Amino acid sequence: MRRPHSKKEIEAALQYAEANGWAIEPRRGNGHAWGRMYCPYNDADCRCGEFCIASIWSTPRNARNHAEHLKRIVDNCTPHRQGYPADEAHAQGQR
């Protein structure tokens, strides 16, 4: 189990990403980046890897905007929009 994000809006976005199969990896120590989230598909159809990894900021200027940005990344994932289940991508060993 990962540690929760201190901003409730971002924590909700992280739970949304996890529900859609994205892996959340908190970083150790303190700094600007709280962690990263990884696309479950990570294949050639996934925008050449451009959005397969996203940074999660620990103290963004506007937590609501950052949370919406993270949700947009999940929603705009090409295989996700085409309806491929994340479990299928994991079963094929693509991540």
pTM: 0.78
Q: What is the mean pLDDT of residues 11-37?
A: 90
With cut-offs at 50, 70 and 90, classify the pLDDT of residue 79: low
What integer is the mean pLDDT of 82-93?
54
What is the residue type of 60?
Answer: P
User: Cα–chain-centroid distance for residue 1?
Assistant: 16
Higher pLDDT pick, 42 / 41: 41
In the chain, which residue ranges form alpha helices assigned H by DSSP? 8-19, 63-75, 78-81, 86-91
Specify whether the backbone of 32 is left (phi greater than 0), alpha (psi in -120 to 50) or beta. alpha
